[in-house]
Structure 1
Amino acid sequence: MPSMMGGLPEPMTYGATHDLIVVVPGIMGSALKDRDSGRLVWGFAEAKWWVDAWNPMGQGLTPLALTDAELEALHGGGYEPSTARIKPAGLLHGPIPAFAPILGGIEPYTRLVKELKKAVIHEAAALEFAYDWRLPTAFNSQLLDVAIRCRLKEWRKHEKHAEGRRLHPEQRDAQVVIVAHSMGGLVAQGLGTITGALDNVRQVITLGTPFYGAVAALSMLETGEAPPVSTILPRTRLRDVARTMPGVYDLLPRLRCLLVPSDEVGEDVIAVTPGHVAAIGASRDLAQAAADRFQARKDVRLPQLQAHVGTHQPTAQSARIEHGHVIGQPHYYKFGADGVIRDDRIGQPVRFTDGEGDGTVPWRSARPLEHDRISYRPQQHGALASSGESIKAIVSHVKDEPVGDRLGRGDIGIEVPDVVLAGQPVEIRVTGEADPARVTCQITDLGDPTGRAGRQPKASRRGEDLVAEAFLGPGLYRVAAKLKAGGRDAVSQVVLVMESE
């Protein structure tokens, strides 16, 4: 029974928003299903499936490859999502991340969605927008526009919407807040190319969105160079199917990041062109179409954009191409009026190493120009939307009660190989901390139905970094590192251990 104040009931407590919250996942973040058979072809809830899919006898991503007929329909405007062979089947949920070589693990959106549903006055004000991430981002932007218009119209008729509007200081109709991870931010940005699509959008929140692409996408389109051959097999399978996916080409790097020979100045730094993409064996036409889409959306200013940028994780920020191989480099380059900034002594481009990124997307790429509402998160790309610190900040933005970034030292990074053969050590490299006594590492077998954390290998100094090693059997594992003091989230990455040949 409510307490009384001077004979009157306590006033109601209101801590939710009546705006429509739309969650847009990233690449690999929506489950996909074969329309005819009803079978999932992406987004499985068992770790064993991911292990089997990438082993020599597995089929990997083969069912997801776009056919020539499907690509032709997309190009000609005749691709019909309501009858397409592959259809979205919801956001990734459950305890098991999706996994692909190079991109690593994409953690499920379960925790993010759960907390956002608590932040709205009624669950009808939360929309999970699953989409076919293989397709062009501009195509999915059109579907997102339709989904938002339909749900917003329905929500504004809901009885709970009327209550929320009455309690809002401006007593306005619901607006839209978009929370987008990775590629989802590009889909949201594409709304700006559609007349009226941003009219009702109050704010866009992005997490690790590659506004200017990522070297990792270029690496996906070729086999890679890391020995032994067995560990390249999953990457080769990824390459073969990725080359058919227009959505992957939308993630290609757009900043000047490619180091090339130059007769005049020794080496120069230029932007990746469709010709470079063709030189590594991928499609020039799909690369050109993606470049055109980038030009169409690059100047879109998203309403009240709040960009969450992953930092302190070893990340390829530039690249060289040698004999068809993409060789990622951890540094980037800066430019002045006369081109790339050069070392006065030898005339070569100066390498800058600050910032790094989230392990996949460089920090400069996730920070759109002319936007200054930036939050930096020391976290891996696939875990940005599931970390407690990110979710707390997102909920605050959604409720229009923004909190400041935490300050202070103590941000660490983690680097783990994406694929390892059983019998070889999994090397966990921790950056940003020199004292092994301050760091704890933890390995969780994602195939363990109990979900219990497993071993905790000890880290020791190796050069400037801390390194821990563990021998693991075939399976899918989450590897995490955390400072023992400070209360920060653990930084985590997913690794696949394959059977030895």
Structure 2
Amino acid sequence: MTSNDLVVVLPGITGSTLGIRGDDGSPASENLIWAPSAGAVWKLLTGGSSILRQALPEGIGDGHPGDGVEPVALMPDVHVIPGIWTPIRGYDVLLASLEQQGYRRGTGGKPATLIPFAYDWRLSNRYNGERLKAVVEPALEQLRAQGGAYADAEVVFVCHSMGGLVARWYVERCGGAEVTRTLITLGTPWRGATDALEQLVNGVRKGIGPLSIDLTAFSRSLPSLFQLLPEFACIADPGAEGGYAKTTEVSLPNVSTAMVADAMAFHTDLQAAEAARPGSRAAHLVVGVRQPTATTVQIAGGHVTTYRGFGADDDLGDGTVPLTGAVGLGESLDTNLAVRVPEQHANLQCNQTVLDQVQEILSARPLRRRELTDTSVRAVVPDLVTAQEGLGVAFDLEPDVAGVDPSGKAVTVTVRAADGRVLATAAPSVVDGHGEASFAGLPPGTHTVTIAGSAPSSTVRPVTSTTLVWPDGVVG
């Protein structure tokens, strides 16, 4: 592959900004209703005109609600907005990496070789797969029309999280296989994720200090969130084969049975199409590993309780997508289709090892390989805190490849602002493989938290999470 191909980047759920065309005819880009805005994140979430207060019409299926909402752009990297699924980390780093490789957006009359594909993440992945077709195929025709090295250009998809489901639907169900060279997915829930089940049944409520957000009605109206439900058997049921049932084999409380059935049909239709097409195995799966991740559930009293493994077997994952959900195509968990990177779900598209892997796939030649060191970090960092309560970070270090106890290893926890400035550091002690750090007095804003070895030669693999510190007493 070369930069003569057309690379299309798809973000995950909530990873596209949304706008609405104005009554005066102004474009959606001038009337943003889901986008980062300094000092206005809480208003974005809770204000009277917040999109999160607007549940989609019942029975919307694969349609559009006709509310004038349009996708505008991919989320920038320097902001985070809490909400359903996981905090948003933007896509500037990924796009910049691709541009450095020679891919270009369409400017100066030249056809694009790089398209950031924003989509309305509220809607069905089937709907967005059809819309992807309407954008990609004309762009590819323009590129091929240049002739020469571009005459045989094909499409390469680089997809984070749910974006991989959109691209897969286009490739397998909308004729995209004929023009697609390969599909690269970063943390895509090929078989769904248990977090979606917990959120839909229990409701989605975010709380920081005295403030709270209830996104339950909105989330339960989204076809997209239902299509993130786990396809694999993950619901504890002594009467089921193997002790676990699928979502369609039990009655899920509080949610639409029809939407659950339709979501499972989405997965089975995709799997059937991929099984029937040998070329579907050209996909590259980059998956996050070694992070504490909800994998199975127990339902009692209309409530879901999550567990990290199947009994004593803890496959872990990226903190959002369990390994069982991250691996598709009927492959075993040790499939050679997957590249495993110890990282959190929301940071995969910014992880340098992942960016190196994407570059190597695109260039089809060996690049600088970063040696995987031998001690993995499992991190737990809250999505939201208030400035008054401070930020608490907990982590565990696994024994290294030789089984050596990691206790006593030097670890540094670093908190950085959105612009990269170091705000605080801590060097907690590691006892029985566990460490904790707390930070008081952090300024309000979006911050990244990195847990890594203290020395350049350290064998501890760094892991990065994102958190939002909200100013005390401020709403909107």
Shift of 1:115: 1.7
Q: 1:322 matched to which residue of 2?
A: 300
- Aligned partners of 1:32 and 1:87 also within 8 Å: yes
Q: 1:432 matched to which residue of 2?
A: 397
The within-5 A match list for 1:78-157 is 79=64, 84-100=67-83, 103-120=85-102, 122-123=104-105, 124-157=112-145
Q: 2:466 matched to which residue of 1?
A: 494
Shift of 1:45: 4.3
Give 1:386's match in structure 2, choosing from 330, 350, 357. 350
* Superposition RMSD in Å: 3.1
Q: 2:401 matched to which residue of 1?
A: none
Q: 1:339 matched to which residue of 2?
A: none
Q: 2:185 matched to which residue of 1?
A: 206
Distance across 2 between alignment mates of 1:429 and 1:243: 31
| Gap change, CA 1:486 and 1:186, over 3 Å in 2 | farther
Q: Bigger shift: 85-94 or 464-473?
A: 464-473
Q: Bigger shift: 185-194 or 215-224?
A: 215-224
Distance across 2 between alignment mates of 1:240 and 1:203: 37
Q: Secondary structure at the match of 2:183?
A: strand
Give a deviation string over 1:173-199, Cα, whole Å, max 9, x none: 111111111001111111244353211
Shift of 1:212: 0.9
AA at the equivalent of 2:318: D
Equivalent residue pairs, number:
441
Scaled by the length of structure 1, what TM-score is found?
0.79
Give 2:237's match in structure 1, choosing from 260, 278, 284. 260
Q: 1:401 matched to which residue of 2?
A: 365
Q: Secondary structure at the match of 1:397?
A: helix
Q: 2:383 matched to which residue of 1?
A: 418
Distance across 2 between alignment mates of 1:229 and 1:98: 13
| Gap change, CA 1:226 and 1:89, over 3 Å in 2 | closer
Shift of 1:496: 3.4
Scaled by the length of structure 2, what TM-score is found?
0.83
Shift of 1:95: 1.6
Q: 1:340 matched to which residue of 2?
A: none
Any gaps of 5 or more consecutive residues in structure 1? 1-14, 166-171, 333-349
Give a deviation string over 1:135-183, Cα, whole Å, max 9, x none: 111111111122111110011123xx52x35xxxxxx611111111100
Distance across 1 between alignment mates of 2:256 and 2:337: 36
AA at the equivalent of 2:312: R
Shift of 1:423: 3.6
Distance across 2 between alignment mates of 1:233 and 1:486: 43
AA at the equivalent of 1:24: L
- Aligned partners of 1:389 and 1:489 also within 8 Å: no
AA at the equivalent of 2:86: G
Shift of 1:430: 1.6
Shift of 1:443: 1.7
Q: Secondary structure at the match of 1:299?
A: helix
Shift of 1:415: 0.8
Confirm or deny that 1:452 pairs with 2:421.
yes
| Gap change, CA 1:59 and 1:431, over 3 Å in 2 | farther
Distance across 2 between alignment mates of 1:442 and 1:25: 27
Distance across 2 between alignment mates of 1:417 and 1:492: 12
Give a deviation string over 1:433-453, Cα, whole Å, max 9, x none: 53465211112344xxx6522
Distance across 2 between alignment mates of 1:489 and 1:61: 39
Q: 1:247 matched to which residue of 2?
A: 224
The within-5 A match list for 1:286-325 is 286-301=259-274, 302=280, 304-325=282-303
| Gap change, CA 1:91 and 1:287, over 3 Å in 2 | same
Q: Bigger shift: 290-299 or 201-210?
A: 290-299
Q: 1:357 matched to which residue of 2?
A: 317
- Aligned partners of 2:56 and 2:222 also within 8 Å: no
Q: Secondary structure at the match of 1:212?
A: coil
Distance across 1 between alignment mates of 2:42 and 2:408: 32
Q: 1:271 matched to which residue of 2?
A: 246
- Aligned partners of 2:247 and 2:260 also within 8 Å: no
| Gap change, CA 1:397 and 1:45, over 3 Å in 2 | farther
The within-5 A match list for 1:169-248 is 173-223=152-202, 233-234=212-213, 237-248=214-225
| Gap change, CA 1:457 and 1:287, over 3 Å in 2 | same
